[in-house]
Chains A and B, each alone.
Chain A
Amino acid sequence: MYAAKRVTYAKKLLSTVGIDPARLEMYNLSAAMGPKWAEICTEFTERIRKLGHSPIWLAVCKQSGMKRSEEK
């Protein structure tokens, strides 16, 4: 309950500094829900891929003169 509210708050903080809050998510599941865990990991990885590099990473690359092609 508290954790969910704190994650919502953390999403607001991220949004304040220009980071898409969709990059943070909370899921409720037990240690016995392995397949569900794998499914969530796959979905979340896909979501992050679609969102692309974080604006912080892009800003750091820009400052250091690194090209997009060199980004890892």
Chain B
Amino acid sequence: MIVGKQKPFEEIWDMIKNFKKVLVFGCNTCVAICHAGGGKEAEILASMLRMKAYQEGVEMEVKHAAIERHCEPEFFDPVMEDVKTNDVVLSTACGVGVNFLAERIGDIPVFPGINTQFFGAVPKAGVFVELCAGCGNCVLHLTGGICPVARCAKSLMNGPCGGTNNGKCEISQDVDCAWYLILERMTKLGTLEKLSEIKPPRDWSTGIYGGPRRIVLEHIADVEAQEEKKES
């Protein structure tokens, strides 16, 4: 899932303080799981903004709402008319949601209420860890299911650097050395010899470094386009 963290309150206040009608708009999928931007968090943030507005003597109407997903158009349909009645939307969805809404809402500004952080998992309640970098060229079958791109601080592809220290990374004792984990795991699986195979240089252009990415499934996208054509 996508993990985010709410922006500092003062930064949010600076964004919206000059608007009269504000909607704090939550997303009930990934960012709700990480307690950053779901309906509940949107409601709390709206309440805090109301309190702040009162104290600052700013006349402002702050509403809150949430939909299940900010990354698919059909979820917006039932609420879009209401959303458009505001002067500004403070979205607590991830960056994807903010972009997607901004493209659809017309002349109303959409501001981010959270800082989108990473793709991660929830090893225990309240803890979120990055496990995938979305690099577009997965090597997990070669590394025992442990990603060196996301989990090694240097994204090294050929074993640990000199900073590995008793299984921990030199950047912090709280961070495991990904290559230590890979070696341990592959030893357990009996597949350590895979690491001795010479591999060609990695193609990094499949990741964000290669520019914005797009996937089109023709067997789905074409059918939908034809149906839309028929309907019109």
Which residues in A have some Cβ–Cβ distance to B below 8 Å? 13, 16-19, 55-56, 59-60, 62-63
Question: Counting CB contacts under 8 A, is B142 at the interface?
Answer: no
Q: Which residues of A contact B69 (CB under 8 A)?
A: none
Most buried by B among A13, A19, A55, A60: A13
Give the complex CA separation of A59 and B60 in angstroms: 13
Q: Which residues of A contact B44 (CB under 8 A)?
A: 13
Q: Which residues of B contact A60 (CB under 8 A)?
A: 54
* Chain B nearest Cβ from A51, distance in angstroms: 15
Q: Which residues of B contact A59 (CB under 8 A)?
A: 54-55, 57
Q: Are B57 and A17 in contact (CB under 8 A)?
A: no
Question: Counting CB contacts under 8 A, is B75 at the interface?
Answer: no
Which residues in B have some Cβ–Cβ distance to A below 8 Å? 9, 44, 48, 51-52, 54-55, 57
Q: Which residue of A lies closest to B125 (CB)?
A: A2
Give the complex CA separation of A18 and B54 in angstroms: 11
* Chain B nearest Cβ from A42, distance in angstroms: 28
Q: Which residue of A lies closest to B52 (CB)?
A: A17
Closest 7 CB pairs of A and B: A59-B54, A17-B51, A59-B55, A16-B9, A17-B48, A17-B52, A56-B54
* Chain A nearest Cβ from B92, distance in angstroms: 15
Q: Are A63 and B54 in contact (CB under 8 A)?
A: yes
Apart from A17-B48, A17-B52, A60-B54, what are 5 other A-B pairs with CB-CB below 8 Å? Answer: A13-B44, A16-B48, A56-B55, A59-B54, A59-B57
Give the complex CA separation of A51 and B32 in angstroms: 35
Give the complex CA separation of A55 and B54 in angstroms: 9
Give the complex CA separation of A62 and B139 in angstroms: 63
Q: Are A18 and B57 in contact (CB under 8 A)?
A: no
Known: A13-B44, A16-B9, A17-B9. A63 touches B57 (CB 8 A): yes
